[in-house]
Amino acid sequence: MTDRDDEQLDGGATTPAEALAAIRASQEAVRDQTRPDSTRMFVVWGVAYLVAYVALYLGFDREGQTPGGWSLAVLGVSVVAAMAYTAVHITRRTSGIRGSSAMVGRMFGWAWVLGFGFAAVIVGSVAAAGAPPLAVSILANAVFLLVVAALYMAGGALWREWPMFVLGAWFAVTGAVAAIVTPPNGYLVQAVAGGGGFLVAALATALLARREA
């Protein structure tokens, strides 16, 4: 085999510094192309939270003590759109990659599905047992945010990503505040602190990535 690519490095002008630079460039390229982009995920979810919670706030039916139909529709559309974007992005980035990280990702994905399923059952059962509408509104928001906060902290620990962990911890605090404040003002807390939290985290991951490069 005498193809050009097979030339020994020290035959040409390649120095150890250049070889090390080539190693770094290759490792950055593979990371950039095969790992989900946290910054992009945080922006997408930040916008979804902002839109959804502003809708819940504006559409709150004060007599019925529950979010109005159109605001729940906006919430549904925002969450489904963000979920679809996340799924497509992660599938694209991780296609052709198998092994331990794929298994970890699948387990984490199922943790979300089962966590949200459980949360929905809790809210449904409490409502069916005759809890007042305001109590159901508080519980629904709190129990879903509990799942989000816990899984963000767990994900941060799993992938050693500080912005993700801090975001989870922040959601635990803002979720608690929103429960104390109660809807509809609690929704405004979520829109600003929750949605804003995602956007701050996006900025943090973008800056961290730039510093590493």
Closest CB 96 distance from another protein, rounded Å: 3
CA dihedral 67, 70, 175, 180 (to 10 degrees): -20
Q: Does 128 bind another protein (CB under 8 A)?
A: no
Closest CB 213 distance from another protein, rounded Å: 14
Q: Does 177 bind another protein (CB under 8 A)?
A: no
Instruction: Kindly tell me which of 154 and 172 has the beta carbon lying closer to another protein.
Output: 154
Identified binder of another protein from the candidate list 8, 63, 113, 129, rule CB under 8 A: 8
Identified binder of another protein from the candidate list 62, 63, 96, 129, rule CB under 8 A: 96
Q: Does 130 bind another protein (CB under 8 A)?
A: no
Identified binder of another protein from the candidate list 27, 91, 125, 185, rule CB under 8 A: 27
CA distances, 34 to each of 95, 101, 179 (Å)? 8, 11, 38
State the Cα–Cα distance between residues 136 and 66, nearest whole angstrom.
8
Instruction: Kindly tell me which of 31 and 124 has the beta carbon lying closer to another protein.
Output: 31
93-115 b/e with 16+ CB inside 10 Å = b? eeeeeeeeeeeebeeeeeeeeeb
Q: Does 212 bind another protein (CB under 8 A)?
A: no
Identified binder of another protein from the candidate list 13, 62, 63, 98, rule CB under 8 A: 98
State the Cα–Cα distance between residues 75 and 93, nearest whole angstrom.
27
State the Cα–Cα distance between residues 142 and 179, nearest whole angstrom.
6
State the Cα–Cα distance between residues 126 and 140, nearest whole angstrom.
10
Identified binder of another protein from the candidate list 91, 101, 125, 185, rule CB under 8 A: 101
Segment holding 66, helix H or strand E: strand 66-67
The residue ranges that bind another protein (CB under 8 A) are 1, 3, 5-10, 14-17, 19-20, 22-23, 26-31, 33-34, 95-102
